[in-house]
Amino acid sequence: MTTFTHDAELIQQVVDHIENHLALQQADELSVAHLAQQVGVSPWHFQRLFKTWVGETLGNYIRGRRLSAAAQQLLHGSDSIIDIAFAVGFNSHEAFSRSFKSQYGLPPKQFRQQAPAVDLQQKPVLSQQLYQHLSEEMQRQPEIITRPELTLQGFKTRIPSPFLVEGSYCHLLENSWRQLFSHLDQLPGHVPHTMMGITISDSGRFDEPELDYMAAVAFDDAAALPSLGAGMSRYSLPQQTIARFSVASVDIDTVGKTMDYIYGYWLPDSGYQRASGDDYELFEEVMDMDFSNIKSSYVIPVSALPESS
């Protein structure tokens, strides 16, 4: 058995145990010592393994999973807030409300009233597939940079919102990419060998049932913009601080798992918050429509969290 397989099995045992005991308020049941004993390793080795591969502490993971379970109950159930708090392992309304607002930006009552359709802050279950993605297929610590103002030009298509509907929509994107490649000679002056795939929400909340997906090239000089050809669209990105995560491959499963990690694991502990603006995929060293040998990144806009007084 390889080290990765062995570690993955240990982590999965721990995650399964946590999921089965989220409602318990007994601290010992989900303590480092107890969980380490469950999988037959020392507490020191367990803490090191969990933090190394998951990217956060056991306590943060458990708290995040409890709050994610609570968010689902608030949106889809009718139990009182205090009953939900106890059901997910909190021993007081105050502790639950404080933790919930810290993760979701809203107190539980307001969260239930507003019923957001898209919940990017949810902490997903750490499946073996996600664990493997974090371990082998993506850079877990991003490059934080200031991106200059860019203008995108390319082709749009309507897609079902990937934030609301599960399932593959890659076949819907192909035509936009084919159009872009076939019209590159009409787009001189763009950033060379670089393309972007961006999902655009008119509301900025990504809660529409359908969104625009744009396959585009970028221009960092507005004066160099070519005329809009038939069927082309433009979209502007302001100068902005971004977090850029390198990923090893390009497909719908990769994007979903990358977003799960960024929003569920990295962002809550990063010292940053998501800023207004757009996420996008960045493709570099692009020579043709064979995306197997390119550099791929997932990018989100960020701003530093204000220092607490």
Q: Are residues 109 and 150 in the same domain?
A: no
Using alpha carbons only, what angle is made at residue 70 by residues 107 and 166, rounded to the nearest 5 degrees?
Answer: 110
Which residues contact residue 306 at a Cβ distance below 8 angstroms, ignoring those fewer than 6 apart?
Answer: none
CA angle 165–275–268, rounded 5-degree value: 75
How many residues would you count in the chain?
A: 309
198 beta partners: 214, 280
Asked if the structure places residue 138 within a domain, the reply is no
Measure the CA angle with vertex 99, ends 93 and 104; round to 5°. 115
Domain count, the chain: 2
Residue 300 confidence (pLDDT): 93
* Phi, psi for residue 171 in degrees, rounded to 5: -65, -25
Measured CA angle at 139 (ends 33, 168), to 5 deg: 100
Q: Which amino acid is at 208?
A: E
Question: What's the gap between Cα 117 and its chain centre?
Answer: 16
End-to-end alpha carbon distance in the chain: 50
Same domain, 82 and 117: yes
In sequence order, which ranges of 27-80 are alpha helices (DSSP H)? 32-39, 43-54, 58-76
Q: How far apart are CA 162 and CA 173, in angstroms?
A: 12
Q: How high is the pLDDT of residue 25?
A: 57
Domain of residue 172 covers 143-304
**Based on the domain organization, do 81 and 157 belong to the same domain?**
no
Asked, for residue 126, whether it belongs to a domain, the answer is yes
Residue 148 within any structural domain of the chain: yes
Same domain for 189 and 100?
A: no
The CB-side HSE value for 272 (13 A sphere, CA atoms) comes to: 22
Q: Are strands 295-304 and 143-147 parallel, antiparallel or unpaired?
A: unpaired
Same domain, 64 and 120: yes
Assigned domain for 99 exists: yes
- Find where tokens 């744009």 sit: 214
**What are the two backbone dihedrals, phi and then psi, of residue 284, each rounded to the nearest 5 degrees?**
-120, 160
In three-state secondary structure terms, 99 is helix
State whether 294 and 152 are in the same domain: yes
- pLDDT tens, N- to C-terminus, the chain (309 residues): 455 667 777 888 888 888 888 776 555 678 888 888 888 888 888 887 787 777 778 888 888 888 988 998 998 889 999 999 988 888 889 999 999 988 888 899 999 998 877 666 778 888 777 877 877 788 888 999 999 999 999 999 998 877 766 666 677 888 999 999 999 999 999 999 899 999 888 877 777 888 899 999 999 988 889 999 899 999 999 999 999 999 987 666 678 888 888 888 888 778 898 888 888 999 998 877 666 678 899 999 999 988 754
Are 108 and 72 within one domain? yes
Last residue of a domain, one of 80, 107, 132: 132
* HSE value, Cβ hemisphere, 13 Å, CA-based, for 1: 8
pLDDT at 309: 44
| pLDDT given for residue 167 in this prediction | 60
Question: 158 and 229 share a domain?
Answer: yes
CB atoms within 10 A of CB 170: 12
